[in-house]
Each structure stands twice: as C-alpha cells, then as structure tokens.
Amino acid sequence: MASIKDVDTSSLLYEFSRQFPTGVSTFACCPVCSASARGGNFCRDCIAAELRRRGATDISIDLAKQGLIAKQQASLSYESAVEEIRRQIAEQEAA
C-alpha cells in the first residue's frame, strides 16, 4: 500500500467518506496507526491528519465528519421507516 502522503487528495477524501459506512462493512487495521479502518485502508484520524498537513482546517474536516455522520443517521432512519412500512402493510394484509 502507498504511503498516505503519496495518495492524491480526491482519493483521500473518498477514503475518508468510506470510514462512515451506511451499511454492513468490514474493518481492519490502519496501515499507519493500526486503529480500526474500513477495508483495512487508512483510518479517519490518519486521513484527517494528512488533510490538515495539506492545508485543510479543523473546521472543514469537522464539518465533513458531521455531514458523514448525518448521512449515516439518515440511512438508519430510512431503514427503520421502511421496516415500519413493511410491518404496517403485513399487518393490514393479515387483517
């Protein structure tokens, strides 16, 4: 695997977003710090540190994290609503 410093910014941002999955995912050790990272790639903290090194501000990185967490929560909310709709329809059909 390439050094985190050799990865282009677009790829780092993509990998950062992947660290906030909206479904079932596999995790392994980050090659930089051995923390948990989706797919065994770089972890969110190492990616954030590299983005900071390249000039991103803490505020921008935190906003990105908040948006990704909101996306995770929206996905869970949607899945719960779908399950409730299925339950309601099944209940109506059984009546």
Query: What tens digit of pLDDT does each residue of 12-30 get?
Result: 999 999 999 988 899 999 9
The pTM score is: 0.82
Convert 10-72 into a string of H (helix), E (strand) and C (coil).
HHHHHHHHHCCCCCCCCEEECCCCCCEEECCCCCHHHHHHHHHHCCCCHHHHHHHHHHHHHHH
Band of pLDDT at residue 67, cut at 50, 70 and 90: very high
Residue 1 has pLDDT above 80, yes or no: no
